[in-house]
Homo-oligomer: A and B are copies of this chain.
Amino acid sequence: MLQVVAKRKTREEILELSVPLFARYGYDGVAMRDIASTVGVTPAALYYHFPDKENLYLDVVAYAFEERLAVLKKILAGGGSPRQRLEEFITENARVMATDKNFIRLMQWAALDSNEARLQKLSHCVFKDLFIAIYHLASELDDRYDPHLLAISIIGLVYFHFEAGATRHLMPGYLPHQDDPQVVAEHVIQLLHDSISETVTY
């Protein structure tokens, strides 16, 4: 029993401490030695908890996304009009991305992954559920738009403000308050407000 507790503890600690490393440096940019020294164990110890680097990485990504995505999915499944849910989703999404820098960077790394197996696994297990929820919301919002394209646009509008974060700071017109998730959310909501007219009634 004590062993199980200790095991769970170390395993979770490895996951927890690996998140910012993989978020910042990507799969190739993090060595097992880096993780080990961050956690305070030797590299060999990692192989007791995970079969190899590949599986450790996948577990780290799933661990990092689990909680965040659950919150977003809950909002999309909640009550209120489609328009209301859209605005709540945008606001919460901006809040998550501004709060948790690791979240967006892990998504970026995932999008670039040239390893087909990893890409499929992440797409299917991690992102698909959320996309389906947004897709359904998009279908309810305005039937003049292809819901797939509209879903991508809604995600991309928020996502890109934070994805571009590092480079955006070097560009003209940058002001610190543009990093405020509330400001970004209001901008996106305003932009979508006039574009989308409710066409489905309940």
Contacts and interface: CB of A to CB of B under 8 A. Distances in A.
Interface of A: 24-26, 28-29, 105, 108-112, 114, 119-120, 122-124, 127-128, 131-132, 135, 144-153, 155-157, 159-161, 163-164, 166-168, 170-175, 178, 183-184, 187-188, 190-195
B148 A178 contact: yes
Nearest to A136: B172
Contact of A193 (B132, B184, B195): B195
B132 A161 contact: no
A18 to B, nearest CB: 15
11 contacts: A26-B114, A108-B111, A110-B167, A120-B170, A127-B171, A146-B178, A146-B187, A152-B164, A153-B160, A153-B188, A157-B160
Contacts of A161: 149, 152-153, 156
A192 B164 CA distance: 20
A28 B109 CA distance: 13
Contacts of A120: 170
A156 B164 contact: yes
Contacts of A167: 110-111, 119, 122-123, 127
A148 B145 CA distance: 26
Contacts of A25: 114
Contact of A173 (B24, B147, B184, B193): B147
A131 B172 CA distance: 8
A38 to B, nearest CB: 16
A172 B132 contact: yes
Contacts of A171: 123, 127-128, 131-132, 135, 148
The 10 tightest CB contacts between A and B, nearest first, are A156-B160, A148-B173, A28-B28, A149-B187, A123-B167, A123-B170, A194-B194, A131-B171, A194-B195, A191-B195
